[in-house]
Structure 1
Amino acid sequence: MPRIARVVLPGHPHHIVQRGHNRQMVFAHEDDFARYLDDLRELKNVFDVKVFAFCLMTNHVHLLLAPSSTEGLGKLMKTLAARMTRYRNKLEGRSGTLWESRYKSSVVQSDGYLLACCRYIELNPVRAGMVERVEDYRWSSFGLRLTTNAQDDWLDVHSCYELLGLTQLGRQQAYRAFFEAPVADGELKLIRDALQRGQLTGGKQFAEDVERVLGRRVEYRGRGRPAHDLGN
């Protein structure tokens, strides 16, 4: 069965997941996590890709990225994977692949979906029972988003986040409140299914707009739409 053509739209957020080969462990020590994030911080500038959210689990990563070009996303993911593979192979005196051959991706409609995807990504450790509170996990973007040290926050800021408040403190408080609010029915399934199937995470109009840009039919996951903003 042929692979579904990957949809890449410059300037739009893409929810990415890449897993270890055969679900093997990718990050065994703190240095592994730190190295990957150092590479991500460097390479996002090299390939002109914005990073809105991330979560590094032991055997896979979740990223929310917006490339400026069609080629930028693939180049970033390929280089990230290659660097981590060389690093782990050298440490362990081994050879071979570390990651699955193909990462999963879903283009995300910004309005009504981007912040929900951020929450989905950053709550992974809580859902997995690794921590009780989202802020207790070191290797996600949640802590960076709420940091008071501007030098530590290298995440890019989407307009959806800027609309949360008039000040940085106000935006941070609203973002935290969003994580404490109940998740809408069907939100997790909607985001998970779109990612697993390579579909769009968005509504019907968004899908129609994307189809016009690409000149071909695309699938989307729009039922169970997340709330439009954090006030809902």
Structure 2
Amino acid sequence: MPRIPRMVVTDSGQKSAYHIISRTALDGLPFGPAEKDELVRIIQRYSVVYCVEVIGFAVMGNHFHLLVEILPGSMVSDDEVRRRYRLLYGDDVEFPEGSLNEYRERFSNLSAYVKDIKQRFSCFYNKRKKRKGTLWGERFKSVIVQKGNTLTHCLAYIDLNAVRAGIVKRPEDYRWCSIGYHAQTGNRDGFLSADFGMPDFGMENPAMRFRKYREYLYHAGAIEKKGAANISEEILNEETLGGFELARVRRFRHRSRYFTDSGIIGSKAFVEAGYEAFKDRFRAKRDKIPKRVTGIEGMYSLKRLVDA
């Protein structure tokens, strides 16, 4: 039977939101910490190239979720197409002016975006595991999501994956999801949308939006679902008493993973010098730049060392 055409909003003159789900064809839970880290990095990479805004994500042991808004091609200027082309291919590659509209369409195309992510990760995974063949199962699923409350509900569903699976007790303790990324990195590099799908709530302060979203997330996660774990009443009460503000001690605990997960950590000058000394051990075609460890003054890190 022929494939059913994917439901995609065609050039509505505004951004459209999609929930993307893709599963591996492999048995068990083949994605460990290194694979999850790499998939997040690849998602970050292509989310800069494509005309998308990432609202949320979750990378699990055998599948991933993405919640994104895509800008239609009609809203992408010629200069913006050229800029994104350079991000993809580098400044030394001349832009093919005759293909301007082709690249405009590509950079606003949901399927092309997900295809690039999955193909890049497949190459990484197969090389790392010394294997060949198909990694992903059937084509990815995509759901058109209405903006507003529905978008926030969908984001919460994604962020609660690790809780429902019984992996963590609190959603932000799982670093391979959007709430974990916000809590543990301070949304480094502005990778994620900071409105949590709640732009109409009248909250300009990012910290207020973060608390408001955590409040909703914890209440949603406390609802019992058959066959799935939930946020305990004890934890919900504790968060309620704290006004759903992430306590300093827990913020530090989230930041402290840099002491074990980084390749090099210290002052910016120290990290830069260390990188020059061990450049061959880093998996990167371009020079890496030290990243500030959010929440710890004057501390920078680089990750990740190639496995010896």
Q: Output the TM-score relative to the length of structure 1.
A: 0.71
Amino acid at match of 1:51: V
- The answer to whether the aligner puts 1:8 opposite 2:8 as a matched pair is yes
- The one of 149, 153, 171 equivalent to 1:134 is 171
Q: Deviations over 1:155-202 (max 9, x none)?
A: 0245842334231111111011001224799x99xxxxxxxxxxxxxx
What does residue 74 of structure 1 align with? 111
- Structure 1 contact 12–107 (Cα < 8 Å) conserved: yes
Residue 173 (1) aligns with residue 207 (2) = no
Equivalent in the alignment of 1:96:
133
Superposition deviation, residue 2 in structure 1 = 4.0
**Distance apart, 1:143 and its partner CA:** 2.4
What percentage of aligned pairs have identical amino acids?
33
Q: In structure 1, how many angstroms separate the alpha carbons of the residues matched to 2:7 and 2:159?
A: 24
Shift of 1:152: 4.8
Of the three residues 32, 52, 55, the one matched with 2:55 is 52
CA 1:154–1:81 in structure 2 vs 1: closer, same or farther (change >3 Å)?
same
What are the ranges of 5 or more consecutive residues in structure 1 without an aligned counterpart?
A: 189-232
Structure 1 residues 162 and 145: alpha-carbon distance in aligned structure 2, compared to 1, 3 A threshold: farther
| Largest Rg, 1 or 2 | 2
In 1, Cα distance between equivalents of 2:123 and 2:65: 20
CA RMSD of aligned residues (A): 2.7
- Higher mean alpha-carbon deviation, 111-120 vs 176-185, is at 176-185
1:35 and 2:38 matched: yes
Mapped to 2, the partners of 1:151 and 1:73 lie a distance apart of 24
Contact 1:13 1:107 survives alignment (8 Å): yes
1:104-159 CA distance string (max 9 Å, x none): 11000012200000000010011111111111111000023346846454102458
Number of matched pairs: 187
> Is the CA contact (8 Å cut-off) linking 1:122 and 1:134 kept in structure 2?
yes
Q: Secondary structure at the match of 1:118?
A: helix
Q: Which residue of 1 aligns with 2:22?
A: 18
Partner of 1:163: 200
Larger RCO (alpha carbons 8 Å, 6+ apart): 1
Matched position secondary structure for 1:16: strand
Aligned 8 A contact 1:12 1:66 in 2: yes
